[in-house]
Structure 1
């Protein structure tokens, strides 16, 4: 007999799908003319940033964000093959319940002699406590999704070494993929044990912490070059009368078949999250739809149409304002915004590339002009650091665009 959690999750999913086929429940036309709700978020990571590594620094950062009228943080909880919170799931499968100090030190490119690191702490619990105290929503971000560091990466984990059969392959049998200069490998989302690991990890966070939701980004997918491992090929053959997958990794049917399998995993996650906490927001922050699907088999427009997404933050990291606005005008963006809060991810800078406050402000204005639900910035350290402008100038710039406190846009009541 199927258990109660399964039926509950199924009812939630079917309910949302039916809702999306009725008149719009989230529409720009329903928003008041005066801005009273808006997502004002920021991603907090452990790469090129040490904000997570001491209690005091983290508490100060959250207070600063509140004073500047931010209302959401998306803190990393899974990257480099480790969790940033004490995890029984990770301990069981990786042998470590928390990102080791040596790996954290490599990530921020400095020694941790003056920090407490993550050891002996529950940094996610601290963020939930401090965030809620300041009226800020905390939505943990599973940054690496299905991606792992390559085994040769000095900052990497032992995950890929411990579970080599969990990795998918390219046509030549290789497992490595380059993200910039960094070697990466990818978990096979078609294997039951991989799906179980991802679901268990997410459920652990939602059950253990009083979080406001969870979020996946562009790494919750698979580069289209992958899927040629024996397990996936055999699965494809069973469903295609013995035919092999196309040698063209961009073949439309082959793209759709793999993308639909990842959609099925997204459905499992949605049902599992809702069974634990119906009010936990399922949020995603992908690339624009065309690229997301063709390059990473991530058909988020279908996820949204099937009621599997409750908040969408599209990464539109473009310098030219005309190009930026063009992405906001895409039909799939407009369609999604009729059903759920749709915000835009804005780049505030990365270590080798500072972004001016003028560009940030013009992009925020464009998002508001389109009637979208808000913005989130990548990433915390470049809000007023990693920039050519004084910190005071940057903070004043955010103070101007976020002049008043507002509640965050949300579909969850």
Structure 2
């Protein structure tokens, strides 16, 4: 180790990947919330409101969930052939500016949202709907740069919407380019798809992709298998595009909760779902996991624990048993709490039971909740379930099983200066650019034999482009001893370092 400047550094003997759970919740657990922008479900409330008002609303959402110790937001940045960021590949979203194609007053909302989320210590997962092209059959209000206007041959009407035809190679190329552009231009933590692949079936209507089927299907291939292969192809292409540029950026998908019912396949779950992700949406998440194309899966298990046709309990157990090479989280229907004909949702502890069941299922590593406004508008007793029971302490997000095998490397030089009670840190060498966050823990004992415990976590601080971070006076509170560890781009935590802060060294840090 190179000498440090005025610091005492003591490495803990415990390895960075080991943690003995001394708290009610795991140290690593995905705690995400979907922020839906389509139809202004969660944000912004008013697309015609000034950008400053929209910013305040977004920060209010982040603060609410940060205070509940959530660690990730899944923000919808493409709803239906549109965009919440500047691009030549899609028009500006009407849900952001009130009119499709109209630019906002700010330069780049997505850049601001990612930066603000990271400053709060939360991951930002960019949520995109790939195949949904419009929210109605009315095309008059579409911008001229919308793909339906530019490439009507790519589109198929179904129900009251238009969809991109997943069987066209040109569509796959365009959608892959959209995802690739976001990964290249923004420091997002993940690209995220929800359950909208081929559209949910409508009785008496036909999704008329027969022309593409005749042209592109392999000899002897059924239309169902061909449709699934189209979705598989897109998933694989996006995985390859992401990992080619930024292998630490994750790719996650949130499919419909039931893969198949047991009555159509003995491998399926003991459920009676009216539609399934494999047979009706032509999506095969089991294959995506097996092939290593996704980092995580969040099945939408939006039913109560013992709902007869599709029991939350049975479905979560099924996913846990069928997990392979991907992290597995559960999607919970927070929007149903005290707002559903199923009276189980009237019970204040329904969500608590679901989260605890997932934790005890073996293969589940966290949860995500739809949608943001649901808990924000919930009664205090429901919010208390998280604040005082489920998430009393912070948690780190799980590391992807597709991440690199090498461990996080602790920096060998760490400098600090104290000014006005705050502590400014600088880390080196140049490889410090691979670190995203500093974790600062209270040091109860200098020679503690346990790795840093979340109950002692003071702050999770984003490291800036100059390899600096600051521990503010309200957090340090004249504390002399702390532990500092670092999270790399993959989310791996380095060995904690013991620091004895010399309060007598207070000076102007700009000097």
TM-score, L = length of structure 1: 0.74
Q: 1:313 to 1:266 in 2, by over 3 A?
A: same
Give 3-state SS (helix, strand or coil) of 2:298's partner.
strand
Please list, as runs of the form range in 1=range in 2, the aligned pairs for 1:121-140 lying within 5 A after superposition: 121-140=107-126
Please list, as runs of the form range in 1=range in 2, the aligned pairs for 1:20-169 lying within 5 A after superposition: 35-46=26-37, 47-51=40-44, 54-90=54-90, 96=91, 98-100=92-94, 105=98, 118-142=104-128, 144-149=129-134, 150-152=136-138, 158-168=146-156
1:364-398 CA-to-partner distances (Å, cap 9, x unmatched) read: 1111121311000000011121x4x2xx4343222
Distance in 2, Cα, partners of 1:36 & 1:257: 42
1:229-262 CA-to-partner distances (Å, cap 9, x unmatched) read: 42222223xx227xxx8xxxxxxx4322220222
More deviation, 396-405/347-356: 347-356
Instruction: Assess if the C-alpha contact under 8 Å between 1:218 and 1:285 holds in 2.
Output: yes
More deviation, 373-382/158-167: 158-167
1:163-202 CA-to-partner distances (Å, cap 9, x unmatched) read: 221024xxxxxx222xxxxx12221122122111101110
Distance in 2, Cα, partners of 1:266 & 1:311: 13
Please list, as runs of the form range in 1=range in 2, the aligned pairs for 1:238-317 lying within 5 A after superposition: 239-240=218-219, 253-287=222-256, 288-290=258-260, 291-317=276-302
Distance in 2, Cα, partners of 1:119 & 1:210: 22
1:80-118 CA-to-partner distances (Å, cap 9, x unmatched) read: 32111222221xxxxx2x1136x76599xxxxxxxx995
Aligned to 2:386: 398
| Counterpart among 322, 330, 343 of residue 335 in structure 1 | 322
Instruction: Assess if the C-alpha contact under 8 Å between 1:99 and 1:118 holds in 2.
Output: no
Distance in 2, Cα, partners of 1:286 & 1:199: 19
Structure 1: 5+ residue runs without aligned partners?
1-29, 91-95, 108-115, 169-174, 178-182, 246-252
More deviation, 349-358/32-41: 349-358
Give 3-state SS (helix, strand or coil) of 1:186's partner.
strand
Distance in 2, Cα, partners of 1:268 & 1:69: 34
Q: Considering only aligned residues, what root-mean-square deviation do their CA atoms show, in Å?
A: 2.9
Distance in 2, Cα, partners of 1:407 & 1:39: 7
Q: Number of matched residues?
A: 339
Matched, 1:347 2:339: no
| Counterpart among 186, 204, 213 of residue 232 in structure 1 | 213
Instruction: Assess if the C-alpha contact under 8 Å between 2:197 and 2:282 holds in 1.
Output: no
Aligned to 2:506: none
Q: 1:106 to 1:85 in 2, by over 3 A?
A: closer
Instruction: Assess if the C-alpha contact under 8 Å between 2:93 and 2:99 holds in 1.
Output: no
Q: 1:320 to 1:399 in 2, by over 3 A?
A: same
Point out the structure with the larger helix share: 1
Please list, as runs of the form range in 1=range in 2, the aligned pairs for 1:153-232 lying within 5 A after superposition: 158-168=146-156, 175-177=157-159, 183-223=160-200, 225-226=206-207, 228-232=209-213
Q: 1:51 to 1:396 in 2, by over 3 A?
A: farther
**Could you say which structure has the greater relative contact order, defined with CA pairs below 8 angstroms and 6 or more residues apart?**
1
Aligned to 1:171: none
Report deviation, 1:228.
Answer: 2.9
Instruction: Assess if the C-alpha contact under 8 Å between 1:223 and 1:297 holds in 2.
Output: no
Instruction: Assess if the C-alpha contact under 8 Å between 2:64 and 2:376 holds in 1.
Output: no
